Every structure is written in structure tokens, then in C-alpha cells.
Amino acid sequence: MFVSLFLGVLVGSVMGLTGAGGGSIAVPALVAGLGWTMQQAMPVALLAVTGGAAVGAVEGLRKKLVRYRAATVMALVGLPFTALGVRVAHAMSQQWLMIVFAVVLVIISVRLLRQHQVPEGNDEHRQAVCRVNTQTGRFDWTWSTGLMIGAIGGLAGFCTGLLGVGGGFVIVPMLRRFTNVSMHGAVATSLLVIALVGAAAVGSALQHGAAIPLEFTLPFVMATATGMLAGRLFARRVSARAIQRGFAMMLLVVAAGLLLKAAA
């Protein structure tokens, strides 16, 4: 019980701060701490991440931080790719899943660390493929905007099904790279996508025979939601740049641990 609560609060706090990272911590933690396989850990981690993301998304919608149209497009495109990812995951070995997970985390973290950030508060002036109109507060929807937002959703959905994570570690950095959405807006939008796509991924995993031990999962999910709220409160006091750099370093540490375990 203590392990469930501790891991849940940790995962929720990270997700509340970054809009991502919950699954990237939860899956390795369940594998290392409980001796589960990647396939066993994925649906449990994803269920907790989905529940926590739903709580955070509601809070983001209330504060008008969520780009809900973009989130809807990403979710709709991501759903079929999520089912594909689940099928691929069940066809892969434990070792290869760890390696793929680690490589994806390294790529994302390196991109985050190498991004040249404009001064905080000037996101609207940043050059971007997809732009939020400063007068309406909404995306200027063009074909290029729709294709880019859809591509982000497809990639996030596939990673959700394949790796048992929420997909936020793809959504947040890609929104920051290709749009002028602020870090806090990207986090809030990511949480809504995670909630929508994650729910479908959990259902797909159950259809493929995944087992979810309720005696561990229920307190884990509740603790994750609590940690999410705490993380969102703390995020207001931390700069977007610090959050982004801290998230990148966290992913590198997790990736290193996975590669070591895969090589053992």
C-alpha cells in the first residue's frame, strides 16, 4: 500500500509540473520496484496517468489554458495509432521494449536541452509553424496547422499504445517546438490529450488480455490524482524554462536506468 501511494504521488507531481513524464517514471518504477514486466506495468501506469491527467485537464480548462480544439484533433488522430501501438508492444520482447523506450526518451530530452528558448513571456513572438492568434487566443487553423497538430497526435497515440505512457513527453516538446503556445498552455493541452487517448489505450490493452491488479492500482490512481493537483499548484511558482530543463534531465536519468536494465 505504501509503495502504491508513494509512486502515485511522485508520478502525479511530475505530470502536474510538466504535462508529461508520469508514464515515463511509472513504468520503469513498477518494473524496477515490483519486478513486473513492461507489459504488466504499462496498463497500470497508463490507467493512473490517465486519471491524473483528467484531473489536471479539468483544472486547465477552468483556467482557459487548454487549446481544446487542438487537443481534440490530436486525440482523434491518435486513437487508431494507439491501438496499433498496443499490438506492436505485445509482439515485442521485454528487452527491446526497454531499449525503444529509452531511445525515445533520450531523443526527446536532447531536443529539449538543445532548444533555444526566447525570453519567457514572449511566446507569442516566437517563430512557429502553428500560431495562436494573440487577439482570439486560438490557433489560426490552416492546412499546415491541421497536419502538424494531427501528426503530433498520431505520434503521441502510437507511443501511448507502444510504451504505456500518456504521450505527453511527445506532445509538450513538439508543441513548444512547432507552435507558439506557452509552456503552461502546452502542459494543460497535453493533459487533456492524455486523458482522452489514455482512456482508449487502457481499453485496448484490456482487450488484448492485460491484467490490472485492483488492490494495487486503485490507491495508485488516487495518489496520482492527488500528486497531480499538488504539481499543478507548484508549477505556477516555477519558470517554464526551469520546468523544461528539469524534465529533460529527468528523462535522461530514466533512459539510462532502462538501458542498464536491458543490458543486464
Per-residue pLDDT averaged across 37-66, rounded?
A: 81
> Mean pLDDT throughout 167-191?
82
- pLDDT for the residue numbered 147: 93
Sign of CA dihedral 106, 102, 261, 251: positive
Confidence of residue 72 (pLDDT cuts 50, 70, 90): very high
As a whole number of angstroms, the distance between CA 152 and CA 85 comes to 15
pLDDT at 58 over 70: yes
Using one digit for the tens of pLDDT, what is the confidence trace for 81-104? 988 888 888 888 878 888 888 887
- pLDDT tens-digit profile of 186-195? 888 888 998 8
12-51 tens-digit pLDDT: 787 777 655 566 677 777 777 677 777 777 788 888 878 7
Is this prediction's pTM over 0.85?
Answer: no
What's the pLDDT score for residue 18? 67
| Mean pLDDT score, 137-161 | 87
Please give the average per-residue pLDDT across 211-217, as a whole number.
78
pLDDT at 200 over 60: yes
